[in-house]
Amino acid sequence: MELDDLKPYLQHKIVTDAEKNLQAVNKEMLYKRSTNIISKINSNLLMELWLAIGALAFFIYYAFYGSVTWAKNYILILLPILLLFYWQIFKFYKQIKVAETMADSNVLSSLTSTKNLLQKFIRNYLVFNMWFAFLCIAIATLLSIQANSNGQAAFITKLSNWQVWLFIIFCWAIFLVLAYLFTKYWIKIFYGKHVHQLEKNIRELQD
Amino acid sequence: MQTNEFVIELNKHQNILHKICYLYANDAADREDMFQEISLQAFKASNRFRGDAKFSTWLYRVALNTAIGWYKKEKKNKVTTYTSNVPETAENQDDIEEQVKAMYKAIANLSTIDKALVTLYLDNYSYQEMGDILGITANNVAVKMNRVKTKLKEEGKKYYQTS
């Protein structure tokens, strides 16, 4: 049997399916949650946003009502970073909205734009996470040194010691490597297969 | 396009959705999910439908984009099966039915891109139209179609012999 011989059978099969009314388009169907990759990223972004809001709320609370009042200064440093995080999230959210409008462009354009968006998202996500992790680690290290110092003068003395800085840099390096590996793993779990599938399809179309 | 108008239009062309779901999804549950997803994506994009192209061509584009980008955790040891609804016109009914089944099996094992080509081809789209929908040239479509036809002929024969 050749492919052309299949035409009447496929038509018949589909008509039969439709007749059975297994599925028919109705209004309710159009307001359900989408399951495609772009929508998944969208919901992941929303989750990140809520996490960031939670972190922000915690830091603000700790800055103004926490027992360690001097932590305020560090938290004031952290706040712009969190705000930058929000800005990044909203920027991607906007881009994703644009990508959703690619549904009716040709298949190659749609696949390419989705892949580019996904890769851009992954790059930015990695850079931002590293930056955020670095800041958190830096603050945590400085806070622990301050907590172990008797007053501001002792704290400054400690910070002027190069051996202390060597230790700080060592801690940062270790944590940053761990944060990098964790983020990479996280990205691979969530988006790795999607990117691979998109690349495969694009290659096949262009072949 | 108004929602009601869109639903009517989509129902008129729902065969396109059924065909794509039938060729791309593994089982009834997947077909249902995919059908919903395509309807949803088409609805989201419907306000940009200006009528420059035929609604069916536009719908094909949305449906194929959704089906190709469709990603679901693979079910292990999943074997695609097709229920037979071959019309009772041929004399050697059983034999043709087996051949059709074998052909469907061969199609099910094609890549997502090749399935898109087969779907459009079976719906009598020209190579130029197929190229426009997929974003490649008509020549490229022709080359790919030749490859797919040869592959299907061989694979179909293999499945038929083992059935």
pLDDT in tens, A29-78: 666 667 676 677 777 777 777 877 787 788 777 777 766 666 677 677 77
What's the pLDDT at B130?
93
Q: What is the 3-state secondary structure (H, E, C) of B83-150?
A: CCCCCCCCCCHHHHHHHHHHHHHHHHCCCHHHHHHHHHHHCCCCHHHHHHHHCCCHHHHHHHHHHHHH
Token code pair at residue A106: 């040709």
Measured CA distances, A46 to A80, A114, B12 (Å): 19, 19, 36
Q: Is A8 on the interface with B (CB under 8 A)?
A: yes
Q: Is B92 left (phi over 0), alpha (psi -120 to 50) or beta?
A: beta
pLDDT digit string, tens, across residues B14-46: 888 888 888 888 788 888 888 888 888 888 888
pLDDT tops 50 at residue B114: yes
Best A1, A27, A101 member to test B by mutation, with max B CBs in 10 Å, is A1
Domain spans of chain B, in order of start:
1-72, 89-163
Q: pLDDT class for B86, splitting at 50, 70, 90?
A: very low
- A119 burial type by CB count under 10 A (0-12 exposed, 13-18 middle, 19+ buried): middle
Q: pLDDT class for B82, splitting at 50, 70, 90?
A: very low
* Cβ–Cβ below 8 Å for B122 and A10: yes
What's the pLDDT at A147?
80
Taking the C-alpha atoms of residue B17 and residue B94, their distance in angstroms, rounded to an integer, is 28
Taking the C-alpha atoms of residue B114 and residue B121, their distance in angstroms, rounded to an integer, is 10
pLDDT tops 50 at residue B77: no
What's the pLDDT at B160?
77
Lowest mean pLDDT among B15-19, B40-44, B54-58, B74-78: B74-78
Give percent of chain B above pLDDT 70.
84
User: How many angstroms away from the CA of A134 is the closest CA of chain B?
Assistant: 34
Taking the C-alpha atoms of residue B1 and residue A76, their distance in angstroms, rounded to an integer, is 50
What's the pLDDT at A13?
59
| Mean pLDDT value of segment B139-156 | 91
Higher pLDDT, A34 or B151: B151
Taking the C-alpha atoms of residue A24 and residue B145, their distance in angstroms, rounded to an integer, is 31
Q: Does domain B1-72 have CATH number 3.90.25.10?
A: no
* Cβ–Cβ below 8 Å for A7 and B122: yes
| Mean pLDDT value of segment B75-102 | 58
| Mean pLDDT value of segment B104-123 | 89
Taking the C-alpha atoms of residue A98 and residue B51, their distance in angstroms, rounded to an integer, is 21
Q: pLDDT class for B145, splitting at 50, 70, 90?
A: very high
Return residues 97-156 of A near B (CB < 8 Å). Answer: 100-111, 114
Token code pair at residue A133: 């992790």
Measured CA distances, A34 to A72, A181, B116 (Å): 42, 31, 22
What's the pLDDT at B113?
92
pLDDT tops 90 at residue B156: no
Q: What is the 3-state secondary structure (H, E, C) of A103-164?
A: HHCCHHHHHHHHHHHHHHHHHHHHHHHHHHHHHHHHHHHHHHHHHCCCHHHHHHHHHCCHHH
Query: Which of A26, A35, A110 comes nearest B65 by C-beta?
Result: A110
Return residues 16-75 of B near A (CB < 8 Å). Answer: 17-19, 21-22, 28, 31-33, 35-37, 39-45, 48-49, 58, 61-62, 64-66, 68-71
What's the pLDDT at B116?
92
Task: Give per-residue burial for A164-199: e unless 16+ CB within 10 Å, then b.
Answer: eeeebeeeeeebeeebeeebeeebeeebeebbebbe
Q: Is A34 on the interface with B (CB under 8 A)?
A: yes
Best B23, B85, B145 member to test A by mutation, with max A CBs in 10 Å, is B85
Q: Which residues of chain A are modeled with pLDDT < 50?
A: 19, 21-22
CATH of B89-163 among 3.30.70, 2.60.40, 1.10.10, 3.30.870: 1.10.10
pLDDT tops 90 at residue B134: yes
Q: Is B110 on the interface with A (CB under 8 A)?
A: no
Taking the C-alpha atoms of residue B140 and residue B127, their distance in angstroms, rounded to an integer, is 9
Measured CA distances, A67 to A55, A61, A71, B31, B103 (Å): 18, 10, 9, 57, 73
Find the distance separating the first CA and the last CA of chain B, reported in whole Å: 48
Taking the C-alpha atoms of residue A85 and residue A127, their distance in angstroms, rounded to an integer, is 11
pTM: 0.75
What's the pLDDT at B143?
94
What's the pLDDT at B19?
84
Helix, strand, coil percentages, rounded to 5, for chain A: 90, 0, 10
* Residues in CB range of A99: below 8 A, 6 or more apart: A38, A113, A114, A117
Q: What is the mean pLDDT of chain B?
A: 81
Q: pLDDT class for B84, splitting at 50, 70, 90?
A: very low
Helix, strand, coil percentages, rounded to 5, for chain B: 70, 0, 30
Taking the C-alpha atoms of residue A72 and residue B109, their distance in angstroms, rounded to an integer, is 61
Q: Is B156 on the interface with A (CB under 8 A)?
A: yes
pLDDT tops 60 at residue B81: no
